[in-house]
Amino acid sequence: MNNSNPGFTLSPELAAELAVEQRGPVLWLTITREERRNAMSHGVLAGMAQAIAAVQGQRDIRAIVITGAGNKAFCAGADLQSAKAFTTDYSEPHGHLAQLLRVAKASNVPLIARVNGACMAGGMGLMSMCDMAVAASHAVFGLPEVKIGVFPAQVLSVLQHLIPRRVLAEMCLTGEPITSAQALAFNLVNYVDDDVDAKLQWLLDRLLDKSPAAIRRGLYTMKKVETMAFEESMSFTESQIALFALTDDAKEGQKAFQEKRKPNWVGH
């Protein structure tokens, strides 16, 4: 795939720590703080939120990959060397990590975590906010906040429904990490592979040949029903399925099925 710049640019300050690159229909967001084990700075969080929000209306972006530079760490969490590791302004009710998690939750473009190494603390939040995750075999996962006197509070919002309650409690309360094999067994990630890039591309290929319209509206539907009671979700989804059927992709998909050929998606 050819690499190119997406239809937006980050400020030089934000771009210094977050590489934004469009590779064909996939936007790559790479934390470039390898010397700090890709720890999250406020600039990284703000840049990532800005980038995800900016491409929601770009139909040429079909997926977003989030990763870290190098092969040792995906993200080590907050940068504890910073004087203001957790917030820049205690009077501001919305922190940078919380805002990023909100933007990710609202994204109708699939987010995929490429966990290329250690995924710790706030890094678990970045991984958990994604719709899917592929991890390298050497990756480790942990919530070590209790070791420095704090707790993975914001991370719980996106992590609590992914893994069993007792596993989550043990990770939060002991601060001890788990292996990639355990993460796979606990459904924290979709796949673990020695060649994380080959597996990631395999997953992307299985997504990119499907209907863009169905994925965009479908991801919106999935996220909306997650917190709904049964009857509310049924009322919502029975109207949604009617809208799915009205799209050009749905008409093309049915026609291609009848004609026994591959569909030519138009994306709307």
pLDDT tens for 101-112 read: 999 999 999 999
Based on the domain organization, do 98 and 230 belong to the same domain?
Answer: no
Least confident segment among 82-86, 115-119, 126-130, 239-243: 82-86
The number of beta carbons lying within 10 Å of the beta carbon of residue 239 is: 9
The packing angle between helices 248-258 and 230-246, to 10°, is 70
Based on the domain organization, do 174 and 43 belong to the same domain?
Answer: yes
More confident site: 221 or 83: 221
| Boundaries of domain holding 38 | 3-208
Average pLDDT over residues 32-43: 93
Per-residue pLDDT at 95 exceeds 90: no
Residues in the chain: 268
Q: Which of the four pLDDT bands, split at 50, 70 and 90, describes residue 9?
A: confident
Average pLDDT over residues 198-224: 97
Based on the domain organization, do 107 and 217 belong to the same domain?
Answer: no
More confident site: 83 or 204: 204
More confident site: 129 or 2: 129
Based on the domain organization, do 106 and 237 belong to the same domain?
Answer: no
Q: Which of the four pLDDT bands, split at 50, 70 and 90, describes residue 133?
A: very high
More confident site: 176 or 89: 176
Average pLDDT over residues 147-176: 95
Contact criterion met (CB below 8 Å) for 151 and 159:
no
Per-residue pLDDT at 13 exceeds 90: no
> Considering the entire predicted model, what is its pTM?
0.92
Per-residue pLDDT at 1 exceeds 70: no
Give the CATH number of the domain where residue 101 resides: 3.90.226.10
Based on the domain organization, do 184 and 236 belong to the same domain?
Answer: no
Based on the domain organization, do 133 and 173 belong to the same domain?
Answer: yes
Number of domains the chain is built from = 2
pLDDT attached to residue 6: 77
Based on the domain organization, do 197 and 246 belong to the same domain?
Answer: no
Least confident segment among 2-11, 30-39, 74-83: 2-11
Based on the domain organization, do 7 and 131 belong to the same domain?
Answer: yes
Based on the domain organization, do 21 and 70 belong to the same domain?
Answer: yes
Contact criterion met (CB below 8 Å) for 87 and 50:
no
Based on the domain organization, do 136 and 49 belong to the same domain?
Answer: yes
Q: Is 193 exposed, middle or buried (0-12, 13-18, 19+ CB in 10 A)?
A: middle
Assess if residue 95 is contained within a domain.
Answer: yes
Based on the domain organization, do 193 and 87 belong to the same domain?
Answer: yes
Assess if residue 265 is contained within a domain.
Answer: no
Per-residue pLDDT at 14 exceeds 90: no
The CA distance from 74 to 136, in Å, is 10
Q: Which of the four pLDDT bands, split at 50, 70 and 90, describes residue 93?
A: low
On average, the pLDDT of the chain sits at 92
The CA distance from 70 to 111, in Å, is 20
